[in-house]
A and B are shown apart, each in its own frame.
Chain A
Amino acid sequence: MADKLLEIKNLSIEYNTEIATVYAVNGMNLSLDHGETLGLVGETGAGKTTTALSIMRLLPEGIGEVTAGSILLDGHDMLKISEEDVRNLRGNTVSMIFQDPMSSLNPVMTVGDQILEVLAIHNENVSKDELNKKVDQMMELVGIPANRKNEYPHEFSGGMKQRIIIAIALACEPKLILADEPTTALDVTIQAQMLGLINDLQKRLNTAMILITHDLGVVAQTCEKVAVMYAGEVIEYGRAEHIFSGKYLHPYTQGLFNAIPKLDEDVKRLETIDGMIPDPTERMEGCRFASRCKYAKERCKKAPDMIEIEEQHYIKCHLFAESKDKNAGRDEKDGR
């Protein structure tokens, strides 16, 4: 267990405002090995971005607050260490690729300077020449000619900007990248390119990655592990092949898969999951998905536990508790 890169335990995050308290993340658990790629899937409002921001301790100040749990990143307790220590980790050990390349670059700084900046802050002893060389390298690495480093963000296209942002994120060869929907703002043709690039660089630098997305296709393409988030908690976690095989699936994940249009079937209407994500300003007892779940029963008023349904495949649902319980019972007997 010691060699886990990231371990999130029982994490809860609230946003406090004058009007209401929003329970964005509720008792979330997640872990990640070195060099591993995890797809974090879920619909808007599930708490994906909040989780990512909390890993870097970048929650909006004075509003977002971690109320419980712990985040261990590369042996550092992210919620306890000093602000200076966090700064040293940001950009260096963990970095983030943001959703919207259009607004994530400073419009009044050359792109070269913006890459140089992150290198300079984490490599104080390296000479300026060497840092500049590294900037050129990074730009070439993401496929932009180094001679364009004196240009400003507005002179680049959206895809190019995202390449620059990737260069910034990878410049210090971090151990973990948090990619927050890195392709949603881009054209479909560029999406694939960008994913390929990120994947390629990640393999080359042996970097772990959490890819936040609501696109299961993207996950299938790039990720080894998948975590499905719903209303602030992880309801299913497992290896990508297990999840995509579809043998055991949480009803919500099932719904997500059904909502994908299939090429080989003639469908008139796309399937949807009925209802809405529960009101995040209310604290909930029991299974959060129950109100939308077609298998919902009386027992769902009690919160289900995480069950390992097959090797390294966990589901948080009462449906699987029965079969597992029998197994568990048998195990117990055998044990005696």
Chain B
Amino acid sequence: MKNKLLKMIIKRIVQSIIVVFVVTLMVFLLMQLVPGDPIANFLGANATQEQIEHYTKIFGYDQPVLIQYAKWIQGLFHGEMGRSVALQKEISEVIFQRLGVTMSIVFPAFILAVVLAIILGIVAALNRGTIIDSAISFFANIGMSMPMFWFGMILILTFGLKLGILPTSGYVAPKDGIGNWLLHLILPMTVLAMGPLAQFTRQTRSSMLEVIRQDYVTTARAKGLKQKTIIFRHQLRNALIPIITIMGVQLGGMIGGTVLVESIFVVPGLGSLMISSIQGKDFMVVENGVFIIAVAVAVCNLIVDILYGIIDPRIRND
């Protein structure tokens, strides 16, 4: 039993490594499509020919494409991503620091979304057809359709500008005060959690309703179990399976969503780094950023898959 799970995990790890490798190849090839000379692009119109040549050499752009790619990959294995001229820092250092900030928003938001969604989904399913159900479904539909940046803006307007009870921008590291950190997290987290919350709620509701019709629930009732036991032990565990399958996609979406959230709430995370690098045409940061995001998504998917394997015993047999 344990062995099967382990085998599955190893298989998934190998798959993720392949995926990440393909990502590097894809990103690198796409970067070759960027019109014009990357160095000239970066240095701007005022750069002299000498400067361009100087930097081209430093960054190795004079070498063949394949060598450039090999060098990049080789660097990645050593945790080196090169140096950003614009930031005047090692790229890896910046990216990992920013990644930490981003994840400190993504994970709490994810957990918030999942927990709240399961509660709302169960409540909606148990009150099917009533006004409670309609209200929850309505809000879930709205939550799925709202533009994230717009929702963030409205929150800033109400809680920040009108009520003045929550900070509307900036980020405080946890070491500078947990309370302050949390306070700054509330709004970004809410915005980031909204879409997944809506998705998970809908999924929980529909799969709870699906499970209620299953024979094993009748078996459970025929055993004389309490309603609560039936809901949590029999229905929910089965209903969770389809929810877990969409968790991976939603987590990826949330990591992407930080691009918007961080730019609205001025959080110095990976998302805002991506935006500023794209705007500043600092493509080395962009390509490494995309790589790191792909790795983060792959890791999240891996965790979700393992969770899946733990909850659903059938999957371990594949």
Contact = CB atoms under 8 A, between A and B. Distances in A.
Interface stretch (B6-14, B182-190, B307-315): B307-315
A154 B313 contact: yes
B36 interface: no
Interface-centre pick from B215, B219, B224, B233 (highest chain A CB count, 10 A): B224
Interface string B200-243: 00000000000000111011111111100100011001100100
A64 B217 CA distance: 17
Contacts of B3: none
B314 A56 contact: no
B238 A91 contact: no
Task: Summarize B's interface: helix, strand, loop or mixed.
Answer: helix
B224 A118 contact: yes
A91 B215 contact: no
Contacts of A168: 219, 223
Contacts of B214: 103
A22 B67 CA distance: 77
Contacts of A88: 224
Contact of A108 (B220, B226, B229, B237): B237
B222 A91 contact: yes
B313 A122 contact: no
Contacts of A104: 215-216, 218-219
A36 B237 CA distance: 39
B317 interface: yes
A109 B233 CA distance: 9
A50 interface: no
Given A107-B238, A108-B237, A90 B215 contact: no
B242 to A, nearest CB: 13
Interface in A68-101: 86-92, 95-96, 98, 100
A210 to B, nearest CB: 14
Interface in A114-171: 117-118, 121-122, 150, 152, 154, 165, 168
Given A107-B313, A108-B312, A152-B314, A56 B215 contact: no
A56 B219 CA distance: 11
A111 to B, nearest CB: 11
A58 B222 CA distance: 7
Interface residues of A, number: 29
A334 to B, nearest CB: 51
A89 B219 contact: no
B238 A165 contact: no
Contacts of A108: 237-238, 241, 311-313
Contacts of B216: 103-107
Contact of B313 (A58, A118, A152): A152
A95 B215 contact: no
Contact of A91 (B218, B224, B234, B313): B224
A58 B224 contact: no
A123 B198 CA distance: 42
B225 A121 contact: yes
Interface-centre pick from B216, B219, B223, B226 (highest chain A CB count, 10 A): B223
B226 A87 contact: yes
A106 B229 CA distance: 13
A96 B215 CA distance: 12
Nearest to A93: B224
Contacts of B218: 58, 98, 104
Given A107-B238, A108-B312, A152-B314, A121 B215 contact: no
Contacts of B215: 98, 100, 103-104
A168 B311 CA distance: 23
A91 B314 contact: no
A20 B119 CA distance: 34
Interface-centre pick from A91, A108, A154, A168 (highest chain B CB count, 10 A): A108
A88 B237 CA distance: 24
A240 B233 CA distance: 42
B224 A121 contact: yes
B223 A118 contact: yes
A92 B222 CA distance: 9
7 contacts: A58-B222, A87-B225, A87-B226, A91-B225, A98-B219, A106-B238, A121-B223
Closest 5 CB pairs of A and B: A90-B224, A91-B224, A91-B223, A152-B313, A103-B215
Given A108-B312, A109-B237, 12 more contacts: A90-B221, A98-B219, A100-B215, A103-B214, A105-B216, A106-B219, A108-B237, A108-B238, A150-B1, A154-B314, A154-B317, A168-B219
